Amino acid sequence: MRKEFLPFARPSIGEEEIAELIDTLKSGWITTGPKVERFTAEFAAYVGGRFAVPVSSATGGLHVALLALGIGPGDEVITTPMTFVATLNTIVHCGAVPVLVDIDRATLNIRAEEIEKKITPRTKAILPVHYVGQPADLDPILEIASRRGVAVLEDAAHAVGSEYRGKRIGCFPTTSVFSFHPNKNMTTGEGGMVVTSDEAVFEKASLLKFHGMDRESWKRFAKAGSPRYDVALPGFKYNMMDIQAALGLHQLRRLEGFLVERERLARRYDEALAGVAGLILPSRVPYPVRHAWHLYTPLVDIDRLTIGRDRFMAELKARNIGTGLHYTAAHEFSYYADRFGWRPEDFPEAHFVSERIVSLPLFPGLTDGDQDDAIEAIRDVLKAFRA
Protein backbone atom coordinates (compact mmCIF):
# COMPACT_ATOMS: atom_id res chain seq x y z
CA MET A 1 0.00 0.00 0.00
CA ARG A 2 1.08 3.57 -0.68
CA LYS A 3 2.98 5.11 2.26
CA GLU A 4 2.25 8.81 1.81
CA PHE A 5 -1.16 10.34 1.29
CA LEU A 6 -1.81 11.30 -2.34
CA PRO A 7 -4.06 14.37 -2.68
CA PHE A 8 -6.57 14.46 -5.54
CA ALA A 9 -5.29 17.88 -6.65
CA ARG A 10 -2.22 20.00 -6.09
CA PRO A 11 -1.23 23.28 -7.79
CA SER A 12 1.98 23.30 -9.82
CA ILE A 13 3.91 26.41 -8.78
CA GLY A 14 7.26 26.92 -10.53
CA GLU A 15 10.32 29.06 -9.87
CA GLU A 16 9.05 31.75 -12.28
CA GLU A 17 5.86 32.21 -10.26
CA ILE A 18 7.88 32.40 -7.04
CA ALA A 19 10.34 34.96 -8.48
CA GLU A 20 7.47 37.09 -9.84
CA LEU A 21 5.70 36.92 -6.50
CA ILE A 22 8.83 38.06 -4.66
CA ASP A 23 9.26 40.87 -7.19
CA THR A 24 5.68 41.95 -6.51
CA LEU A 25 6.11 41.82 -2.74
CA LYS A 26 9.24 43.99 -2.98
CA SER A 27 7.76 46.39 -5.52
CA GLY A 28 5.77 48.51 -3.09
CA TRP A 29 2.48 47.71 -4.88
CA ILE A 30 0.80 44.41 -4.02
CA THR A 31 -2.90 44.96 -4.66
CA THR A 32 -4.62 45.70 -8.01
CA GLY A 33 -2.04 47.29 -10.28
CA PRO A 34 0.12 46.90 -13.38
CA LYS A 35 0.50 43.12 -13.11
CA VAL A 36 -3.26 42.64 -12.99
CA GLU A 37 -3.53 44.84 -16.07
CA ARG A 38 -0.92 42.77 -17.92
CA PHE A 39 -2.35 39.43 -16.85
CA THR A 40 -5.85 40.51 -17.88
CA ALA A 41 -4.68 41.55 -21.35
CA GLU A 42 -2.71 38.32 -21.81
CA PHE A 43 -5.59 36.14 -20.64
CA ALA A 44 -8.07 37.91 -22.93
CA ALA A 45 -5.67 37.44 -25.86
CA TYR A 46 -5.25 33.75 -24.99
CA VAL A 47 -8.97 32.99 -25.02
CA GLY A 48 -9.66 35.40 -27.88
CA GLY A 49 -12.09 37.50 -25.84
CA ARG A 50 -12.85 41.17 -26.57
CA PHE A 51 -13.13 42.52 -23.01
CA ALA A 52 -11.95 41.08 -19.69
CA VAL A 53 -12.53 41.99 -16.05
CA PRO A 54 -10.17 40.51 -13.44
CA VAL A 55 -11.88 39.45 -10.21
CA SER A 56 -11.02 37.87 -6.86
CA SER A 57 -12.88 34.63 -7.66
CA ALA A 58 -15.19 33.13 -10.25
CA THR A 59 -17.95 33.46 -7.66
CA GLY A 60 -17.44 37.23 -7.58
CA GLY A 61 -17.18 37.13 -11.36
CA LEU A 62 -20.52 35.33 -11.75
CA HIS A 63 -22.15 37.82 -9.38
CA VAL A 64 -20.97 40.93 -11.25
CA ALA A 65 -21.57 39.31 -14.65
CA LEU A 66 -25.19 38.50 -13.78
CA LEU A 67 -25.77 42.05 -12.52
CA ALA A 68 -24.01 43.54 -15.55
CA LEU A 69 -26.34 41.51 -17.78
CA GLY A 70 -29.21 43.28 -16.04
CA ILE A 71 -30.43 40.32 -14.01
CA GLY A 72 -32.45 41.37 -11.00
CA PRO A 73 -35.37 40.52 -8.73
CA GLY A 74 -37.92 38.13 -10.23
CA ASP A 75 -35.85 37.33 -13.31
CA GLU A 76 -35.21 33.70 -14.22
CA VAL A 77 -31.87 32.21 -15.16
CA ILE A 78 -31.79 28.74 -16.70
CA THR A 79 -28.93 26.59 -15.46
CA THR A 80 -27.92 23.08 -14.46
CA PRO A 81 -28.20 21.30 -11.11
CA MET A 82 -24.81 19.65 -11.73
CA THR A 83 -22.51 22.47 -10.72
CA PHE A 84 -20.75 24.01 -7.77
CA VAL A 85 -23.36 25.83 -5.74
CA ALA A 86 -21.77 29.25 -6.47
CA THR A 87 -23.57 29.16 -9.82
CA LEU A 88 -26.97 29.09 -8.09
CA ASN A 89 -25.98 31.22 -5.10
CA THR A 90 -24.98 34.14 -7.28
CA ILE A 91 -28.29 33.98 -9.17
CA VAL A 92 -30.08 34.15 -5.81
CA HIS A 93 -27.83 37.04 -4.67
CA CYS A 94 -29.24 39.04 -7.60
CA GLY A 95 -32.78 38.37 -6.37
CA ALA A 96 -33.31 36.16 -9.41
CA VAL A 97 -34.62 32.60 -9.61
CA PRO A 98 -32.57 29.64 -10.87
CA VAL A 99 -34.58 27.43 -13.22
CA LEU A 100 -32.98 24.03 -13.63
CA VAL A 101 -32.67 21.83 -16.71
CA ASP A 102 -31.38 18.31 -16.07
CA ILE A 103 -28.09 17.04 -17.42
CA ASP A 104 -27.03 14.33 -19.80
CA ARG A 105 -25.88 11.49 -17.55
CA ALA A 106 -22.94 10.62 -19.80
CA THR A 107 -21.44 14.06 -20.44
CA LEU A 108 -22.60 15.72 -17.19
CA ASN A 109 -23.57 18.85 -19.17
CA ILE A 110 -26.95 20.59 -19.42
CA ARG A 111 -29.27 19.10 -22.07
CA ALA A 112 -29.39 21.89 -24.60
CA GLU A 113 -32.49 20.42 -26.25
CA GLU A 114 -34.50 20.75 -23.02
CA ILE A 115 -33.70 24.42 -22.41
CA GLU A 116 -36.33 26.02 -24.61
CA LYS A 117 -39.20 24.33 -22.74
CA LYS A 118 -38.16 26.23 -19.60
CA ILE A 119 -38.08 29.70 -21.19
CA THR A 120 -40.77 32.07 -19.89
CA PRO A 121 -41.29 35.84 -20.29
CA ARG A 122 -39.16 36.24 -17.14
CA THR A 123 -36.14 34.34 -18.50
CA LYS A 124 -33.16 36.67 -18.84
CA ALA A 125 -30.23 34.31 -19.33
CA ILE A 126 -29.06 30.77 -20.00
CA LEU A 127 -26.12 29.78 -17.81
CA PRO A 128 -24.45 26.55 -18.99
CA VAL A 129 -21.52 25.06 -17.06
CA HIS A 130 -18.68 23.42 -19.01
CA TYR A 131 -18.51 20.53 -16.60
CA VAL A 132 -15.01 19.44 -15.61
CA GLY A 133 -13.69 21.18 -18.75
CA GLN A 134 -15.77 19.47 -21.44
CA PRO A 135 -17.79 22.20 -23.20
CA ALA A 136 -21.57 22.17 -23.15
CA ASP A 137 -23.18 22.23 -26.61
CA LEU A 138 -22.95 25.97 -27.28
CA ASP A 139 -24.36 26.16 -30.84
CA PRO A 140 -27.95 25.20 -29.95
CA ILE A 141 -27.72 27.29 -26.77
CA LEU A 142 -26.60 30.36 -28.75
CA GLU A 143 -29.33 29.72 -31.31
CA ILE A 144 -32.12 29.48 -28.71
CA ALA A 145 -30.74 32.51 -26.86
CA SER A 146 -30.62 34.73 -29.92
CA ARG A 147 -34.05 33.61 -31.15
CA ARG A 148 -35.65 34.14 -27.73
CA GLY A 149 -33.72 37.32 -26.88
CA VAL A 150 -31.93 36.09 -23.74
CA ALA A 151 -28.27 36.38 -22.76
CA VAL A 152 -25.79 33.50 -22.47
CA LEU A 153 -23.48 33.49 -19.46
CA GLU A 154 -20.99 30.61 -19.55
CA ASP A 155 -19.78 29.25 -16.23
CA ALA A 156 -16.31 28.49 -17.53
CA ALA A 157 -14.80 27.90 -14.08
CA HIS A 158 -13.55 24.49 -15.28
CA ALA A 159 -12.85 25.48 -18.86
CA VAL A 160 -9.60 27.44 -19.05
CA GLY A 161 -8.14 26.09 -22.30
CA SER A 162 -11.27 24.20 -23.39
CA GLU A 163 -12.33 24.48 -27.01
CA TYR A 164 -15.74 24.05 -28.64
CA ARG A 165 -15.73 23.18 -32.34
CA GLY A 166 -12.17 24.46 -32.73
CA LYS A 167 -12.60 27.74 -30.83
CA ARG A 168 -11.54 28.55 -27.28
CA ILE A 169 -14.13 29.03 -24.61
CA GLY A 170 -14.08 32.79 -23.99
CA CYS A 171 -14.25 33.89 -27.65
CA PHE A 172 -17.97 33.33 -28.26
CA PRO A 173 -20.56 36.18 -28.40
CA THR A 174 -21.40 35.68 -24.72
CA THR A 175 -20.04 36.45 -21.28
CA SER A 176 -17.83 33.77 -19.67
CA VAL A 177 -16.45 33.44 -16.17
CA PHE A 178 -13.22 31.53 -15.48
CA SER A 179 -11.80 30.37 -12.12
CA PHE A 180 -8.19 30.34 -10.98
CA HIS A 181 -8.84 28.50 -7.71
CA PRO A 182 -5.85 26.26 -6.76
CA ASN A 183 -7.54 23.07 -8.01
CA LYS A 184 -8.26 24.54 -11.43
CA ASN A 185 -6.24 24.18 -14.64
CA MET A 186 -4.20 27.26 -13.77
CA THR A 187 -4.19 29.21 -10.54
CA THR A 188 -3.72 32.65 -9.04
CA GLY A 189 -4.32 31.31 -5.49
CA GLU A 190 -7.89 32.53 -5.64
CA GLY A 191 -9.06 34.50 -8.62
CA GLY A 192 -11.22 34.67 -11.69
CA MET A 193 -11.82 36.45 -14.98
CA VAL A 194 -14.97 37.68 -16.64
CA VAL A 195 -14.58 37.74 -20.42
CA THR A 196 -17.29 39.31 -22.54
CA SER A 197 -18.04 40.29 -26.11
CA ASP A 198 -20.35 43.07 -24.88
CA GLU A 199 -18.80 46.44 -24.08
CA ALA A 200 -21.71 47.52 -21.86
CA VAL A 201 -21.36 44.33 -19.77
CA PHE A 202 -17.62 45.00 -19.53
CA GLU A 203 -18.14 48.56 -18.30
CA LYS A 204 -20.74 47.64 -15.73
CA ALA A 205 -18.86 44.58 -14.45
CA SER A 206 -15.69 46.71 -14.18
CA LEU A 207 -17.52 49.19 -11.96
CA LEU A 208 -19.28 46.55 -9.89
CA LYS A 209 -16.11 44.63 -9.07
CA PHE A 210 -14.63 47.59 -7.14
CA HIS A 211 -17.18 49.60 -5.17
CA GLY A 212 -18.66 51.16 -8.30
CA MET A 213 -15.65 53.50 -8.41
CA ASP A 214 -14.70 54.85 -11.79
CA ARG A 215 -10.95 54.82 -11.06
CA GLU A 216 -8.97 52.23 -9.14
CA SER A 217 -6.48 53.31 -6.50
CA TRP A 218 -3.27 52.52 -8.36
CA LYS A 219 -4.38 54.89 -11.11
CA ARG A 220 -5.46 57.51 -8.58
CA PHE A 221 -2.26 57.35 -6.58
CA ALA A 222 0.12 57.17 -9.53
CA LYS A 223 2.08 60.36 -10.12
CA ALA A 224 -0.14 61.50 -12.97
CA GLY A 225 -3.37 60.41 -11.25
CA SER A 226 -6.03 62.39 -9.45
CA PRO A 227 -7.16 61.23 -5.98
CA ARG A 228 -10.81 61.99 -6.76
CA TYR A 229 -13.29 59.42 -8.05
CA ASP A 230 -16.99 59.04 -8.61
CA VAL A 231 -19.23 56.18 -7.48
CA ALA A 232 -21.67 55.40 -10.26
CA LEU A 233 -23.37 52.49 -8.46
CA PRO A 234 -22.88 50.56 -5.22
CA GLY A 235 -20.34 47.91 -6.16
CA PHE A 236 -18.47 45.13 -4.37
CA LYS A 237 -14.88 44.38 -3.35
CA TYR A 238 -14.05 41.69 -5.89
CA ASN A 239 -10.79 43.08 -7.30
CA MET A 240 -7.83 40.85 -8.15
CA MET A 241 -4.46 41.70 -6.54
CA ASP A 242 -1.05 41.99 -8.23
CA ILE A 243 0.01 39.18 -5.87
CA GLN A 244 -2.50 36.95 -7.66
CA ALA A 245 -1.64 38.21 -11.15
CA ALA A 246 2.07 37.52 -10.48
CA LEU A 247 1.16 33.83 -10.32
CA GLY A 248 -1.28 34.05 -13.21
CA LEU A 249 1.22 35.58 -15.65
CA HIS A 250 3.44 32.50 -15.40
CA GLN A 251 0.68 29.94 -14.99
CA LEU A 252 -0.76 31.16 -18.29
CA ARG A 253 2.59 30.55 -19.99
CA ARG A 254 2.67 27.01 -18.58
CA LEU A 255 -1.00 26.29 -19.28
CA GLU A 256 -0.52 24.39 -22.55
CA GLY A 257 1.88 22.01 -20.81
CA PHE A 258 -0.62 21.53 -17.97
CA LEU A 259 -3.42 20.74 -20.43
CA VAL A 260 -1.34 18.22 -22.36
CA GLU A 261 -0.33 16.48 -19.14
CA ARG A 262 -3.90 16.39 -17.80
CA GLU A 263 -5.08 14.81 -21.02
CA ARG A 264 -2.27 12.23 -20.94
CA LEU A 265 -3.16 11.26 -17.37
CA ALA A 266 -6.88 11.09 -18.21
CA ARG A 267 -6.13 8.70 -21.08
CA ARG A 268 -3.98 6.59 -18.75
CA TYR A 269 -6.92 6.26 -16.36
CA ASP A 270 -9.21 5.42 -19.30
CA GLU A 271 -6.90 2.63 -20.40
CA ALA A 272 -6.13 1.22 -16.96
CA LEU A 273 -9.72 1.26 -15.73
CA ALA A 274 -11.54 0.24 -18.94
CA GLY A 275 -13.79 -2.72 -18.27
CA VAL A 276 -13.18 -2.71 -14.50
CA ALA A 277 -16.50 -3.69 -12.91
CA GLY A 278 -17.82 -1.12 -10.45
CA LEU A 279 -16.74 2.04 -12.24
CA ILE A 280 -18.43 3.94 -15.11
CA LEU A 281 -15.74 5.94 -16.89
CA PRO A 282 -16.22 9.52 -18.15
CA SER A 283 -17.79 9.86 -21.62
CA ARG A 284 -16.91 12.26 -24.38
CA VAL A 285 -19.43 14.59 -26.03
CA PRO A 286 -20.36 13.77 -29.66
CA TYR A 287 -19.24 17.14 -31.10
CA PRO A 288 -15.63 18.28 -31.53
CA VAL A 289 -14.09 19.79 -28.39
CA ARG A 290 -10.84 20.11 -26.54
CA HIS A 291 -11.52 18.74 -23.08
CA ALA A 292 -9.48 20.66 -20.48
CA TRP A 293 -9.66 17.77 -17.99
CA HIS A 294 -10.05 19.96 -14.91
CA LEU A 295 -11.17 16.76 -13.18
CA TYR A 296 -11.34 13.05 -13.97
CA THR A 297 -14.74 12.00 -12.64
CA PRO A 298 -15.93 8.42 -13.11
CA LEU A 299 -19.16 7.27 -11.49
CA VAL A 300 -18.98 4.59 -8.82
CA ASP A 301 -21.37 1.90 -10.05
CA ILE A 302 -23.01 1.44 -6.65
CA ASP A 303 -25.62 -0.95 -8.06
CA ARG A 304 -22.81 -3.47 -8.61
CA LEU A 305 -21.12 -2.91 -5.24
CA THR A 306 -22.05 -3.51 -1.62
CA ILE A 307 -20.95 0.03 -0.69
CA GLY A 308 -21.93 3.54 -1.72
CA ARG A 309 -19.72 6.26 -3.15
CA ASP A 310 -18.88 7.87 0.22
CA ARG A 311 -17.60 4.55 1.57
CA PHE A 312 -15.67 4.02 -1.67
CA MET A 313 -13.93 7.36 -1.04
CA ALA A 314 -13.27 6.43 2.59
CA GLU A 315 -11.77 3.08 1.54
CA LEU A 316 -9.44 4.88 -0.88
CA LYS A 317 -8.47 7.32 1.84
CA ALA A 318 -7.63 4.37 4.10
CA ARG A 319 -5.27 3.29 1.31
CA ASN A 320 -3.73 6.81 1.25
CA ILE A 321 -5.47 7.90 -1.95
CA GLY A 322 -7.30 11.23 -1.82
CA THR A 323 -10.41 11.85 -3.92
CA GLY A 324 -12.84 14.75 -4.37
CA LEU A 325 -16.61 15.10 -4.60
CA HIS A 326 -17.53 17.43 -7.47
CA TYR A 327 -20.33 17.94 -6.79
CA THR A 328 -23.46 17.15 -4.87
CA ALA A 329 -26.21 18.31 -7.25
CA ALA A 330 -27.15 21.84 -6.17
CA HIS A 331 -30.90 21.15 -5.98
CA GLU A 332 -30.30 18.66 -3.15
CA PHE A 333 -28.88 21.20 -0.68
CA SER A 334 -31.32 22.10 2.08
CA TYR A 335 -31.61 25.79 1.19
CA TYR A 336 -32.58 25.02 -2.39
CA ALA A 337 -34.78 22.06 -1.53
CA ASP A 338 -36.66 24.17 1.05
CA ARG A 339 -36.90 27.36 -0.96
CA PHE A 340 -37.92 25.89 -4.32
CA GLY A 341 -39.49 22.63 -3.14
CA TRP A 342 -37.04 20.63 -5.24
CA ARG A 343 -36.81 16.91 -4.50
CA PRO A 344 -33.75 14.87 -5.50
CA GLU A 345 -35.73 12.95 -8.12
CA ASP A 346 -36.97 16.13 -9.84
CA PHE A 347 -33.69 16.08 -11.76
CA PRO A 348 -33.13 12.32 -11.98
CA GLU A 349 -29.97 12.37 -14.10
CA ALA A 350 -28.23 14.89 -11.85
CA HIS A 351 -29.38 12.88 -8.81
CA PHE A 352 -27.98 9.67 -10.30
CA VAL A 353 -24.63 11.34 -10.95
CA SER A 354 -24.58 13.16 -7.62
CA GLU A 355 -24.82 9.83 -5.74
CA ARG A 356 -21.99 8.25 -7.70
CA ILE A 357 -19.47 10.83 -8.90
CA VAL A 358 -15.91 10.86 -7.58
CA SER A 359 -12.83 12.88 -8.61
CA LEU A 360 -9.65 10.82 -8.89
CA PRO A 361 -6.16 12.31 -8.41
CA LEU A 362 -5.34 14.40 -11.50
CA PHE A 363 -2.84 17.26 -11.67
CA PRO A 364 0.36 18.14 -13.52
CA GLY A 365 3.05 16.71 -11.28
CA LEU A 366 1.13 13.50 -10.58
CA THR A 367 3.68 10.87 -11.56
CA ASP A 368 2.84 7.67 -13.39
CA GLY A 369 3.85 5.88 -10.18
CA ASP A 370 1.37 7.97 -8.13
CA GLN A 371 -1.32 7.25 -10.67
CA ASP A 372 -0.51 3.52 -10.62
CA ASP A 373 -0.90 3.59 -6.82
CA ALA A 374 -4.34 5.18 -7.24
CA ILE A 375 -5.33 2.63 -9.91
CA GLU A 376 -4.18 -0.29 -7.77
CA ALA A 377 -6.11 0.99 -4.75
CA ILE A 378 -9.25 1.53 -6.86
CA ARG A 379 -9.08 -2.02 -8.24
CA ASP A 380 -8.53 -3.33 -4.72
CA VAL A 381 -11.58 -1.54 -3.28
CA LEU A 382 -13.83 -2.49 -6.18
CA LYS A 383 -12.82 -6.14 -5.85
CA ALA A 384 -13.32 -6.18 -2.09
CA PHE A 385 -16.86 -4.78 -2.29
CA ARG A 386 -18.28 -6.35 -5.46
CA ALA A 387 -21.96 -7.24 -5.05
Ligand X SMILES: Cc1ncc(COP(=O)(O)O)c(C=O)c1O
Active-site residue list: 184
Piece in contact with ligand X (CB under 6 A), picked from 108-116, 152-160, 352-360, 375-383: 152-160
Nearer to ligand X, 20 or 155 (CB): 155
Contact (Cβ atoms closer than 8 angstroms) between residue 184 and residue 133 = no
Q: Is residue 134 a contact point for ligand X (CB under 6 A)?
A: no
Out of 53, 58, 71, 289, the only residue in the binding site for ligand X (CB under 6 A) is 58
Out of 32, 79, 87, 328, the only residue in the binding site for ligand X (CB under 6 A) is 87
Provide, rounded to whole angstroms, the least separation between the CB of residue 117 and ligand X. Answer: 23
Out of 65, 67, 68, 86, the only residue in the binding site for ligand X (CB under 6 A) is 86
Cβ neighbours of residue 301 under 8 Å, at least 6 residues apart? 277, 278, 279, 280, 356
Nearer to ligand X, 123 or 185 (CB): 185
Provide, rounded to whole angstroms, the least separation between the CB of residue 87 and ligand X. Answer: 5
Q: Is residue 359 a contact point for ligand X (CB under 6 A)?
A: no
Contact (Cβ atoms closer than 8 angstroms) between residue 30 and residue 243 = yes
Give me the residues paired with residue 76 across strands: 97, 123
Instruction: State the amino acid at position 318 in one-letter form.
Output: A
Out of 43, 84, 202, 347, the only residue in the binding site for ligand X (CB under 6 A) is 84
Give the strand order in the sheet containing 175-179: 51-55, 192-196, 175-179, 151-156, 123-127, 76-79, 97-100
Q: Is residue 160 a contact point for ligand X (CB under 6 A)?
A: no
Question: What is the chain's alpha carbon radius of gyration, rounded to the nearest angstrom?
Answer: 21
Q: Is residue 129 a contact point for ligand X (CB under 6 A)?
A: yes
Alpha-carbon distance of 30 to 14, in angstroms, equals 20
Burial class (CB in 10 A: 0-12, 13-18, 19+), 359: buried
Q: Is residue 181 a contact point for ligand X (CB under 6 A)?
A: yes
Contact (Cβ atoms closer than 8 angstroms) between residue 32 and residue 47 = no
Q: Is residue 193 a contact point for ligand X (CB under 6 A)?
A: no
Q: Is residue 192 a contact point for ligand X (CB under 6 A)?
A: yes
Provide, rounded to whole angstroms, the least separation between the CB of residue 177 and ligand X. Answer: 7
Provide, rounded to whole angstroms, the least separation between the CB of residue 354 and ligand X. Answer: 14
Q: Is residue 244 a contact point for ligand X (CB under 6 A)?
A: no
Out of 179, 185, 239, 244, the only residue in the binding site for ligand X (CB under 6 A) is 179
Q: How far is CA 284 from the centre of its chain?
A: 18
Alpha-carbon distance of 256 to 296, in angstroms, equals 18
Cβ neighbours of residue 256 under 8 Å, at least 6 residues apart? 161
Piece in contact with ligand X (CB under 6 A), picked from 20-28, 57-65, 285-293, 370-378: 57-65
Q: Is residue 185 a contact point for ligand X (CB under 6 A)?
A: no
Over the window 89 to 128, marking each residue x when it contacts ligand X by CB under 6 A and - when it does not, the resulting string is ----------------------------------------
Alpha-carbon distance of 178 to 155, in angstroms, equals 7
Q: What single string gives the DSSP state of each residue in 105-163?
A: TTT-SB-HHHHGGG--TTEEEEE-B-GGG----HHHHHHHHHHHT-EEEEEETT-TT-E
Q: Is residue 59 a contact point for ligand X (CB under 6 A)?
A: yes
Q: Is residue 157 a contact point for ligand X (CB under 6 A)?
A: yes
Q: Is residue 35 a contact point for ligand X (CB under 6 A)?
A: no
Q: Is residue 323 a contact point for ligand X (CB under 6 A)?
A: no
Residues that bind ligand X (CB under 6 A): 57-59, 83-84, 86-87, 129, 155, 157-158, 179, 181, 192
